[in-house]
Structures are given as structure tokens and as C-alpha cells.
Amino acid sequence: MTENKCHGCIKLAEHMKLAEEIRKHKEKVAELKFQMSDEALQQMPEFQGRVEVLKKIGCIDADLVVQLKGRVACEMNSGEELICTECLFDNQLDCLEPEEAVALMSAFVFQQRNTSEPTLTPKLLEARQRLHETAIRLGQLQVELGLPISPEEYAQENLKFGLVEVVYEWAKGTPFADICKLTDVPEGLIVRTIVRLDETCREFKNAASIMGNSALHKKMEAASNAIKRDIVFAASLYITGV
């Protein structure tokens, strides 16, 4: 070591610093590679719990092969994937008219938790209760398989029914000024929710195609057409020429 030529190098300190940086980067790369590896995932109880949930509800089989329900879940981006998928496979939208279906679907995309209580028809009240029970059931299943969640909080976080009445009236053709009087939600948030609902309708249409459910596909097409009108989908003057 005493005869090493590095001792006489005028850039010894600089080279030592560079070598230390290279060592740190190599360690970081090795750590990231491990975190991305199957070995790291196998050690994560939460990951294993989520895999078991997917098995229980039929999204994947025992060999982790994606099933039909799993393919449908992959189409869901606007709302919570498991709840949306169970809603479809439980045929919860079949007994609803397009206006009622899109109104119920607003619970998947609406973000505000505290709103005035909507006034719903008996049919929509029943549909809301059924969807809420589905979320609670999925939450309880996740708890049973070791995931650290509360079923009630899971349902409240992923289903917000504050704009169901507003969207229902809008889909029926009620003017925008009138639907704004039905809730204390700001107008901008109403518009944003309805615009996002159109994307949700497209996702449900794609899911219906995968399932081979032509009736649901037509219903989602009708629902999309019902909400896609008037000021909500008007072109913005900020981004279009006058």
C-alpha cells in the first residue's frame, strides 16, 4: 500500500471523492433493483394480501393468471377498480335507466366529501344502498386478508354520493342554472365531475365489450349522450379562437 502510485497523485482527494460517489450510486442501484424484484415483493405482507383479495373475487386464478373480471378491472381508471368491477358483475346497473345509471356512477368520480344531502328517487336510494353494501363487503374482505383498512372508511373514501341528484337531473335535461340550486357544491366542481363522468362512461363501455354485454354498452352510450350537452361541454374561450 505504501508503494501505491495514488499516494503521489495531485488529484488524490478529488479521485477519492469520485470513488465514494460511485460506491454510493452502486449501492443505490442495487437497493432499487432489489425493491423491484420478486423477492422484495414476496416479503411484503400487504402485497400478498392484495393478491389474495384478487383471487377471492375472481380477478386472477390460483396461478395468478388474469381472468375476465381482472381484464374488466384493468379498464377502470376513473373510480376504485374493485368497486366498479363488482358493480358491473353484480349487474347493479341493469335495472336502471341511462340517466339513473350515470347518476349513480357519479359516486365514483365526485371528490368532495361534505355536501348537502341529495334528494333521491326510491330507485336511486335502493341503488345507492346496494353499491354502498358492495364497498363495505370488499372492505371487510380486505380486512380479513390482513390489509390495514377500515371498511367504513374504504366505502366513504371511494363512494361520494353528493352529486347523484344533480347528475340525474342534468341527464334528464334540466338547465344548468336549475341543477346548481340543488346542491351547495361549486359550479366548477359540478362541471368537472360531469366531464369526468363522460370518461367513466367510455370505460364502462369498454368493460361491457369485454364482458360481451351489448345491453350495458348501449346504456353507457345513451348515458354519455345524455350528459354531453350545453355549457358543461362547451368549448373554452381560453383555448379556442373567437
**Cα–Cα–Cα angle for 6, 12, 15, rounded to 5 degrees:** 105
The single-letter code of the amino acid at 204 is: F
For the whole model, what pTM was predicted?
0.77
Q: pLDDT 10s per residue in the chain (242 long)?
A: 778 887 778 888 888 899 999 999 999 999 888 878 777 666 678 888 899 999 999 999 999 999 999 999 999 998 899 999 999 999 999 999 999 999 999 999 998 877 888 889 999 999 999 999 999 999 999 999 988 899 999 999 999 999 999 999 999 999 999 999 999 999 989 999 999 999 999 999 999 999 999 999 999 999 999 998 877 776 654 444 44
For residue 66, the cross-strand partners are: 60
- Cα 55 to Cα 51: distance, rounded to the nearest angstrom: 6
Residue 234: Cβ-neighbour burial (10 angstroms; 0-12, 13-18, 19+): exposed
Residue 165: Cβ-neighbour burial (10 angstroms; 0-12, 13-18, 19+): buried
E strand or H helix that includes residue 114:
none
Query: What grid cell was written down for 96?
Result: 336502471
Residue 58: Cβ-neighbour burial (10 angstroms; 0-12, 13-18, 19+): middle
- Cα 172 to Cα 174: distance, rounded to the nearest angstrom: 6
What string of DSSP letters covers 44-84? -HHHHHHHHHHHHHTSB-TT--B-HHHHHHHT--SS-HHHH
